[in-house]
Homo-oligomer: A and B are copies of this chain.
Amino acid sequence: MRRDIFQAIADPSRRAILALIAMQAMTPNALAEHFDTTRQAVSKHLRILTECELVSTQQQGREIYYHLQIDKMKEIDRWLQQFRAIWETRFSQLDELLSTTKKIEP
């Protein structure tokens, strides 16, 4: 049951949960109202998201607010970096090609 962020965001329900609490911290009940599943299913997703530290909890009376841990999202961004490096290089190559073409054409 070793879970990482990539497996966490693989599920569409969990991505939806992340998008919701990104706007505002929410309780499991409030979250469940946005979905077509039971509260327990949402609770299970929250457990997974908590396990890999994408969300944190804040108890307030009998309610528990789930907050997005935005810093953890940056890990995905960091992984993307290696590919972003490629598409930016390809873009600048295209850029160079275009400017070279321009020079030749007239």
Mark A residues whose CB is within 8 Å of B. Answer: 4, 6-7, 9-10, 12, 15, 18-19, 22, 68, 70-71, 73-74, 76-77, 79-80, 82-84, 86-87, 90
Contacts and interface: CB of A to CB of B under 8 A. Distances in A.
Contacts of A19: 82
Copy number of this protein in the oligomer? 2
A15 to B, nearest CB: 7
- The secondary structure that dominates the A interface is helix
A7 B86 CA distance: 22
Contact of A80 (B4, B7, B77, B90): B77
B86 A74 contact: no
B77 A73 contact: no
